[in-house]
A and B are shown apart, each in its own frame.
Chain A
C-alpha cells in the first residue's frame, strides 16, 4: 500500500523534469531582442565622460593625454584646431601648453618655425582621456611609481 504513493511521486517528478527540459529546449531558440525577461532591468551602457584633471604619464615616452573635449575639432589638410591654442604663436595668449620642441623639427633634424608635417595630426598620438575600463584585457603595468 505504501508503494503506490511513492511510485506516483516518482512519476510526477520524472514528468515534471521532462516537462521542464522540454520547455527549456523549446524556449532556447526563441530569444527576445532585448535578451532579458520583461521584469528584468537592463541598464544602459555607461557613457564615459571626459576626465578633466591631468593624468600622470604611465611610461616615460607616453604622449600626454588631452584633458579636454576635442569633439569636432578640425584636423585636416587645411586647418588644425589644436594649433589655434597650442602652437607657440598662440599658446601664451591662450594660456595653453606649447608643443614640445621636437614637434618643430622636421625629419632631417632642421628646426622650423611652424609645426613639422610629421607632427600635424595631433590625435595620432594624443588622445582625450576618460576614466573608462580598458577596451581589451591587457597586462600593461605602469613603469611610473604611481
Chain B
C-alpha cells in the first residue's frame, strides 16, 4: 500500500481521501475525535429533521400560489378544516406520511414538483391546474389505494368507529366496507378538493389497477 508513496511526493487526490479515512489521526485524542463526532452527528441529524419539518406545514405548502389559490382555497370550509370538534387536519396530515422512511421518500418525490413549479410552470394558472387536475388526483388516489389510505388512518380507523353513533347510511356502508376489505379512498374521493370531470370512472380504473384486476 505505502510503497507507491515515496517520501516527499504528495499523493494523488483519491489516495489522500483513502488515507484520511483509514490512517489514524496523529495529533487529536481519540476521545476528542469521538466527542466531536457525536456533537456533529446530533447537529446534522437534528438539523436535517428540523429542515424537513420546515417543509412540512401548511404555511410552507401555501407559500406557492398553485397551492394557495387552488387546492387550499377549496379545502377552506371543508370538514377537515372547520368542524364541530375543532380538530383540524392540515395539508401534510393527509399528504405526507408520518413514518420517517415513507416521509423521506415522499419528500424526494416532491422535488419533482419543484421542477414543475420553477421550470415548466405546469399548473401555474387555474386553467392549467384544472386541465392537470385528473392526473394529480389519480396519483394521489393511487398512493392512497396502495397504502390502504395510510394517511387517513392516522386519525380514522374502522376499529375505533362506533357504528351506533353514525348516521344509519354511514354505519351500514362502513360495516359493509369493513367486510369487503375496502379502504377510505374507495368511497371518499374529493372530500377536501374539487373533483375533476369523470372522476368516478378514473377512480375505478385506479382501483382496478392497484388490485390487479
Contacts and interface: CB of A to CB of B under 8 A. Distances in A.
Contacts of B77: 72
B194 A52 contact: no
A69 B190 contact: no
Nearest to B194: A74
A79 B168 contact: no
Interface of A is mostly: loop
B200 interface: yes
B185 to A, nearest CB: 13
A84 interface: yes
A95 interface: yes
- Residue of B78, B190, B191, B196 most packed against chain A (CB within 10 A): B190
B172 A95 contact: yes
Contacts of A79: 190, 194-197, 199
B169 interface: yes
A40 B17 CA distance: 85
B167 interface: yes
Task: Please tell me the size bucket of the interface on A.
Answer: 10 to 19
A52 B197 CA distance: 30
- At the interface, is chain B mostly helix, strand, loop or mixed? loop
Interface residues of B, number: 17
Contacts of B168: 52
B196 A78 contact: yes
Nearest to A67: B169
B167 A52 contact: yes
A79 B134 CA distance: 12
B190 A68 contact: no
B79 interface: yes
Contact of A81 (B79, B176, B190, B196): B190
Interface in A64-82: 68-69, 71-72, 74, 76-79, 81
Given A72-B79, A79-B197, A79-B199, 8 more contacts: A52-B167, A72-B77, A72-B191, A76-B194, A77-B197, A78-B196, A79-B196, A81-B195
